[in-house]
Structures are given as C-alpha cells and as structure tokens.
C-alpha cells in the first residue's frame, strides 16, 4: 500500500530489533548508544521554494560543520568523564555510606594500564557523550567498548589471564555498560552469565579484597540474570553462602542474608518453570516445590522480624500530597536510608515471587480453607509497600543507582497489582523512570521482558 507507515520507530532501531523511543529529530536510544539515527519512515508534505546561490552556500557550510562535529570527538580528560559518571549514576546519600558498598568498578581507575581501567573509560566516555548529546563522543565510547569486548575474549582464551581480578572486574564493568545502554536485547544477560562463570571458576575463597567487592556487588546482578534465564545459580550452594565472608573475616550484613533467601527463591523458580515447560512429572522432586516455597516465606518472615529491630530499618509514614493520581493508599513511606528502602523492596519482591510459586504449584490437599486468600492478601500488601516506597527511593537517589535496584521489585509489584488502580499508577511510575534522561536502558524491560524458558 503506497504511503503506509509500517513502523513509528527509527530505521536504526528497527534494523537492530530494539524498541525506539521515537524522539525527534533523532531518538534517545541511538544517541545513548553512539549510533547515527537514520530517521523515520513517515510521509511528509514538502514545500519547495527557490534556492538562491547565497542560501545554498550557507546551507552547505552549516551541513559541513555539523558533519565535522559529529565525526570528531572533543578531547576530554578521562578523570573528568569518570567523575561525571560517579556523580550522575553511583552517588549515594551521606547516610548510606556506612551500609552500601561503593560500585567496585571505580577501583579500576587506580590501575590505568589495566583492561578494567579501559572498560571503565569506555563506560564513562559513552555516558558523558550521551549526557551531552555528543554523537561523536558516544560513538568513540562504543568503539572502545567493542575493543574491550575483544580484549576480554582474548583473556578468556588465556589460562593465565582467564581468572584474574582484572578479567573479572572488566566483565562486571561491561555488564553495567549493557544495563545502561542496552546495545542488544540480551547483552546484559550474557555479561551476567559471564561474570557468574568467572566467579565460579575462581571459587568461593575471596582472600583478595578486589574479588570480594566484585562478588558482593555482582550477586544481585547474577540473581537478575538467573531470573531472566530461568537457570539455577551456584550462589545457592552452602559454600558460596559462607566461604567468601569467612575468607575475608567479615560478618554478613542484613542485605547479605536477604540475598541468600532471594537466591533460594530464584532457584526454586527455575525448578517451577521446568515443571511449567515439561509438565507435572518433569522433576522427581516436584512434590517439594510448594513446601519449599512456604519454607522460604517463613525464612523471609523471620528475616523481617530481625531486620525491624535494627536502628537502620526504621520507616516513617508521610501523608501523600494530592497529585491527582488514583491509588488505594493515602500515605507514603520514608526511610532512614536508601539502603533500608532497598532492603524492604527486595524483601517484598521476594515475598511476591515465593507466593506466586506456592500458589501455582499447590495441589488441592496443600491448601486449607482460607490459605489462598491469606497468601493473596500478603502478596498484595507487599506490592502496595513497594509502591509506597518508590517516591522516596527515586527522590533520595543522588545518582541513579537506586533506580536500578528497584526495577525488579517494580516488576513484581506490577504482576500482583496490574488489574487494579494501583497497577495503573505503578505503570505510570515505571514509564516515568523509563523516560528519565540518561537513566538505565534496562528499565525499558521492566514490564515487557519475558523469561527465556529455552535457556540452559
């Protein structure tokens, strides 16, 4: 059909099979990734006017200058771009310094000749170019990213370099790059699987401080990867829940203990999906899925009881301002720190997931009268608590690291609230995060990403 507009997305995003944000004149996704936006296939009515020699020369000169600006990246010191990245993405409120580990990738700047340092520079350069809408700088950062990928692949083929801290940290940094820019739909998953494989090869002995910090910071990333691929993870093994901390001589934090439970529910979800894919008799131990899910719910309940006795776990109820939005609650939550808010949200997300598994794996004899209603109400209350904490988490994040941590809880809350007024409010909030300039591109998959049931 002549004149039909088959897609509203730009030609660059359509060719890479990615969702386009349709910004004009060039889309934000292309600017972030350092790609040249090839424009849109929309019909236009063009008016023609005589072109004088003077106006034609001026237009040519202007086009030439624009082309030069796009091709030549400005010379900016790496330390400036790294400082910008740290402030914009990884800064935390002062009260969180005591509880939250700094992003370990920043340590790469202490060793300028390392591969990890080059990976950090590629991330900082791409982000700086994206923030300034400088296509040349973004493209240069992406080219550095590709070169770093090749270097990592070379290291993986070298037995002497394969399990070094430099290779491990480089892989973790480029995983952050993928979550920030989403150069391909599953790029972040591949880096997550790569980081997990390298940690597993190194083993749970974390006598080196750098490797322990990467392990600590990567655990949640690896769990997200496990959720996305429906694969079990080595993190559920007892030695991986104990030996790293023993080898470093440090005690586990409340967040460490919570992630242990989330590891268990993540592995159980993988078993559940095997049954969902292959049928009731796919697993010989299938009979234990419901019981295990209920046991995890009890572990979560015990964790929360202990957590709420700690000074840093305190929350405050604040009346909501009337913003015209429709929702079922009238008071939001504020916390002593972003760390505390993240802890509650991750607890609630894990609770919803454990209840989902319990409900769908239960047989008639597993549930007493009223049990299903209690589980449903508990899941909904967890979803509401996530909603009530979102504004605090978004407003208290100096950098955008808080946005990343809350994406999985938002997805879980939406699953349990999607057919309610709260679900519609939550969908608007997620789209608000997605539209935030220079934020995590992975947020675009918060509602739409489907687990890869074919993985593994």
pLDDT over 80 at 42, yes or no: no
Alpha carbon dihedral 52, 57, 58, 64, in 10-degree steps, equals 150
pLDDT at 285: 46
pLDDT at 39: 80
pLDDT at 13: 78
Q: Which range has the worst mean pLDDT, 122-126, 170-174, 210-214, 343-347?
A: 210-214
- Which of 281, 184, 189, 290 minimizes the C-alpha distance to 231? 189
What does the pLDDT average to over 153-169?
A: 92
Cβ(292)–Cβ(268) below 8 Å? yes
pLDDT at 261: 97
Q: Where are the domains of the chain?
A: 1-45, 76-233, 303-456
What is the chain's mean pLDDT, rounded? 81
Query: How far is Cα 368 from Cα 58, in angstroms, rounded to an integer?
Result: 80
pLDDT over 90 at 327, yes or no: no
Confidence band of 358 (pLDDT split at 50, 70, 90):
very high
What does the pLDDT average to over 429-441?
A: 74
Q: Which range has the worst mean pLDDT, 4-13, 247-256, 303-312?
A: 4-13
pLDDT at 336: 84
Confidence band of 54 (pLDDT split at 50, 70, 90):
very low
User: Is this model's pTM higher than 0.85 or not?
Assistant: no
pLDDT at 449: 56
Give the torsion sign (CA, 71, 76, 82, 85).
negative
Q: Which residue has the tokens 């109820």?
A: 317
Confidence band of 357 (pLDDT split at 50, 70, 90):
very high
Radius of gyration of the chain (CA): 24
pLDDT over 60 at 410, yes or no: yes
Q: Which residue has the tokens 């999906």?
A: 273
pLDDT at 446: 65
pLDDT at 26: 80
Query: How far is Cα 134 from Cα 126, in angstroms, rounded to an integer?
Result: 9
Query: How far is Cα 262 from Cα 258, in angstroms, rounded to an integer?
Result: 6
What does the pLDDT average to over 222-229?
A: 90
Angle, helices 187-202 vs 165-181, to 10°: value is: 160
Q: Which residue has the higher pLDDT, 401 or 376?
A: 376
pLDDT over 90 at 70, yes or no: no
- The tokens for 234 are 């080595």
Give 11-22 pLDDT, tens digit per residue: 777 776 677 877
pLDDT at 107: 82
pLDDT at 406: 85
Highest mean pLDDT out of 17-21, 175-179, 393-397: 175-179
Give 248-302 pLDDT, tens digit per residue: 999 999 999 999 999 999 999 988 877 666 555 544 445 588 999 999 999 999 9
Confidence band of 173 (pLDDT split at 50, 70, 90):
very high
Give the torsion sign (CA, 220, 225, 228, 229).
negative
1-45: which CATH topology? CD2-Gal4 (4.10.240)
pLDDT over 60 at 4, yes or no: no
pLDDT at 373: 93
pLDDT over 50 at 306, yes or no: yes
């Amino acid at each position: 059909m002549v004149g039909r507009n088959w897609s509203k997305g730009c030609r660059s995003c359509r060719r890479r099979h990615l969702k386009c944000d349709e910004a004009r004149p060039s889309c934000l996704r292309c600017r972030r990734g350092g790609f040249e936006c090839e424009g849109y296939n929309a019909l236009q009515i063009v008016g023609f006017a005589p072109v004088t020699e003077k106006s034609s020369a001026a237009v040519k000169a202007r086009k030439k200058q624009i082309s030069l600006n796009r091709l030549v990246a400005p010379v900016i010191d790496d330390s400036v771009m790294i400082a910008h990245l740290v402030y914009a993405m990884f800064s935390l409120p002062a009260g969180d310094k005591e509880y939250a580990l700094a992003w370990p990738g920043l340590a790469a700047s202490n060793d300028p000749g390392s591969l990890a340092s080059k990976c950090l520079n590629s991330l900082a350069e791409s982000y700086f170019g994206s923030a300034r809408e400088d296509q040349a700088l973004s493209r240069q950062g992406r080219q550095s990213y590709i070169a770093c990928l090749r270097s990592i692949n070379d290291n993986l083929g070298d037995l002497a370099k394969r399990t070094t801290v430099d290779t491990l940290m480089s892989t973790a940094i480029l995983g952050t790059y993928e979550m920030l820019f989403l150069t391909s739909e599953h790029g972040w998953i591949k880096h997550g699987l790569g980081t997990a494989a390298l940690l597993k090869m190194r083993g749970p002995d974390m006598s080196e401080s750098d490797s322990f910090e990467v392990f600590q910071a990567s655990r949640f990333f690896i769990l997200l990867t496990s959720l996305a691929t429906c694969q079990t993870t080595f993190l559920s093994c007892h030695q991986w829940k104990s030996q790293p901390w023993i080898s470093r001589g440090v005690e586990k934090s409340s967040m460490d203990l919570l992630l242990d439970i989330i590891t268990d529910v993540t592995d159980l979800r993988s078993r559940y999906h095997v049954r969902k894919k292959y049928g009731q008799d796919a697993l010989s131990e299938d009979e234990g899925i419901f019981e295990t899910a209920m046991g995890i719910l009890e572990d979560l309940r015990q964790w929360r009881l202990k957590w709420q006795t700690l000074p840093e776990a305190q929350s405050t109820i604040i009346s909501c301002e009337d913003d015209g939005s429709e929702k079922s609650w009238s008071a939001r939550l504020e916390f002593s720190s972003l760390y505390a808010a993240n802890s509650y949200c991750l607890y609630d997300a894990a609770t919803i997931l454990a209840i989902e598994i319990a409900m769908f794996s239960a047989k008639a004899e597993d549930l007493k009268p009223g049990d299903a209603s209690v589980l449903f109400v508990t899941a909904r209350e967890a979803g509401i608590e996530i909603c009530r904490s979102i504004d605090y988490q978004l407003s208290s994040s100096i950098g955008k690291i808080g946005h990343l941590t809350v994406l999985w809880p938002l997805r879980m809350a939406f699953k349990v609230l999607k057919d309610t007024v709260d679900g519609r409010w939550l969908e608007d909030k997620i789209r608000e995060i997605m539209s935030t300039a220079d934020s995590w591109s992975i947020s675009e998959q918060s509602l739409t990403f489907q687990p890869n049931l074919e993985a593994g």
